[in-house]
Amino acid sequence: MVYALTIFKDAACEFFVLNAFQVGTSGLSTKIGMSNDTRLFNLLKEESEREVKKTLGQLRQVSSNPNHHFYGLSVADNLVNAIGRTVYNKGMDYIIMGTKGATGLKEVFLGSNTYKIIREIDFCPIIAVPDDYECKGGLRTILLVTGYEHLFETYELSPVVQLAEIFHAKIRIAHVTNGGLTKEQEHSKRALMRKVKSVPFDFVEMEKYATIQNSIQKMIADDQSIDLVAMINHDRGFFEKLTREPVIKKIAFNSIVPFLVIHLFE
């Protein structure tokens, strides 16, 4: 939340703080709890509303921008449904969530709330902020990782371009080297150049290390100005075909800077 306030500190924004709560873990028990208006349901509802109100008070103290407006939402539903309904009904521009890293078997068995949202909510850009990330106050360079496998529409790239315009940031378009580009990839690269020409940008070929994720992390470590990694998520994309590596999931769990995921609208 502090990250959201910091990067949009000079922009006019509406911030919605959402908390989802359930009675029990299954949808059935939640419906029973809600329909019977049980004491447990009411206790959870009151606690959720109380904590959301408390959080809003804290955020209003942090923000000094008079054009920041804060709203609290307490929703009785599972997290994915609560966020999906809210985004759809309120017309959100970004979902911003914190993420805690997981390694090895934890990734396989536990997953994470943030990754569930990345996987399920495919109609709104998502910024996943590492739990221990310290925001420096803006964005200098946005690393957009692509395989040039898709002819991007302007609206698909707008979440990245919009952030770059707000912060006068540069977009660094990175391609993982896997031999030369095909004619289709060259065409996509030229089209991408036209779509981001309103902001400073450059192209870079990334050396492929053991994994795509390692290549991205190495580039971030070598260039301290990179404050955000952005990727377009689509089924069986270039990286998955190339490496069989679930790149989006790996970056969501392990990125050392915030991670913007944009879904491909086909």
Give the model confidence (pLDDT) of 167-190 as tens digits. Answer: 899 999 998 766 778 888 899 899
What would the DSSP string read from start to end of 147-207? -S-S---HHHHHHHHHHHHHHTPEEEEEEE-SSSPPHHHHHHHHHHHHHTTTS-EEEEEEP
Q: Are residues 156 and 245 in the same domain?
A: yes
Does any domain span residue 249?
A: yes
247 belongs to a structural domain? yes
The answer to the question of residue 122 being in a domain is no
- Please tell me the distance from the alpha carbon of residue 33 to that of residue 258, in angstroms, as a whole number: 37
Regarding whether 237 and 148 lie in a shared domain, the answer is yes
Asked if residue 45 belongs to a domain, the reply is yes
pLDDT at 21 over 50: yes
Distances (CA, A) of 88 to 4, 53, 80, 85: 20, 23, 12, 5
**Among candidate residues 34, 64, 92, the one where a domain is terminated:** 92
**Residue 216: pLDDT above 90?**
no
pLDDT of 210 reads 63
Q: Within a domain: residue 68?
A: yes
- Res. 19: pLDDT tops 90: yes
Q: What confidence score (pLDDT) does residue 127 get?
A: 92
| 236: pLDDT strictly greater than 60 | no
Predicted model pTM: 0.85
Q: Are residues 145 and 245 in the same domain?
A: yes
* Residue 244 structure tokens: 């069989």
Amino acid at 196: V
Which residue range(s) make up the domain with 7? 2-92
According to the model, what pLDDT value does residue 98 have? Answer: 85
Supply the CATH number for residue 149's domain: 3.40.50.620
Please count the residues of the chain: 266
Please report the pLDDT score of residue 103 as a whole number. 52
Number of domains the chain contains: 2
Position 220 pLDDT exceeds 80: yes
Q: Would you say 238 and 266 are in contact if contact means Cβ atoms under 8 Å apart?
A: no
Find, among 190, 125, 187, the residue nearest to 156 by Cα: 125
The two most distant CA atoms of the chain are separated, in Å, by 64
- pLDDT score, position 235: 56
- Residue 33 is encoded by which pair of tokens? 């709890």
The residue among 92, 119, 150 that closes a domain is 92
Mean pLDDT (the chain) is 82
Neighbours of 39 (CB within 10 A): 9
Domain assignment present for 61: yes
In this model, does residue 126 exceed pLDDT 70? Answer: yes
**Do 145 and 259 reside in the same domain of the chain?**
yes
Residue type at 76? Answer: A
Residue 266's pLDDT band, with cuts at 50, 70 and 90, is very low
**Residue 244 pLDDT exceeds 50:** no
Task: Judge whether 183 lies within some domain.
Answer: yes
Asked if the structure places residue 211 within a domain, the reply is yes
Tens-place pLDDT, residues 54-113: 999 999 999 989 999 999 999 999 999 999 999 999 999 999 988 765 554 445 444 567
Domain boundary among 30, 58, 92: 92
